[in-house]
Chains A and B, each alone.
Chain A
C-alpha cells in the first residue's frame, strides 16, 4: 500500500526550532515529488514547497521562501519540514503529499497531517 506517515503533533514556544517528518512507503520514494501544504485553523490549503528526493531539487512558494526549509533523506524514505524560529502564526496543520513522478502535478497521496501549535 502506498502511504505517507507523518510525525506526531507538536506543541512549541515562540522562537523554538522544529523539524517534522513524512515517511513514504509502498513506492519508489526517489521517483516522486513530495510537497508540503499548510492549513491554518479554519482556513484553506496553502502550497508551501516541494522536493524531489532523487536529486533534492527543492522549490518554495514565494510566501514560504526563507520561512521554512524542506529536505529529504532518501536512505530512509523520509521528507522533512523545518523551522529555525517558530512564530505563533505558524500554528497550523501541515500535510505532506506525493506530487507526481517527473512533473509536479497533482498531490495523489496525502499524509495524515501534523498539527503544530506554537504558544507561549
Chain B
C-alpha cells in the first residue's frame, strides 16, 4: 500500500496553532479509527502523541489533538512551543491487516 500523504513542512510562531493533515484512502484512514500520530526529535525514537484518531496517551499535553473526516486525519497543536519543533508522522491500520505511515512533516517553530 502507498504511504499516507502529509505536507513536507509546516511552521508557526510560538503561541499559535498549526494543523498537519494526513490523507489516505477508504482502505486505511477512511476505513478504520486506528489513526495514530508520532513525534520524533532528531536522533530520538518516535513518541506516540495520539491514538485511535483522537485519544491522548497519559502524559501527552492537551495542546495536542486529533480528528478525522473521511479519508483525511489531522493533528492540531495549539499554543505552539519551541519544544514542539520535530518531525511528525501519522499512521493507520489498513485493509491488508498491516499498518502504514505517512511521509512525515517537519514542524518549524519560528
Contact = CB atoms under 8 A, between A and B. Distances in A.
B45 A111 contact: yes
A32 interface: no
Interface residues of A, number: 25
Interface string B81-100: 00000010101010011111
Greatest chain B CB density within 10 A among A59, A95, A105, A108 is at A105
Contacts of A44: 3, 87, 89, 101-104
Interface in A36-50: 37, 44-47, 49-50
A24 interface: no
Interface residues of B, number: 26
A104 interface: yes
A104 B104 contact: no
B100 A61 contact: yes
Given A44-B87, A105-B36, A110-B48, 6 more contacts: A44-B3, A47-B100, A103-B34, A105-B34, A107-B36, A111-B45
Can you list the 9 inter-chain pairs with the closest CB atoms, starting with the nearest?
A106-B51, A106-B36, A44-B104, A110-B45, A47-B99, A45-B101, A105-B34, A59-B98, A61-B98
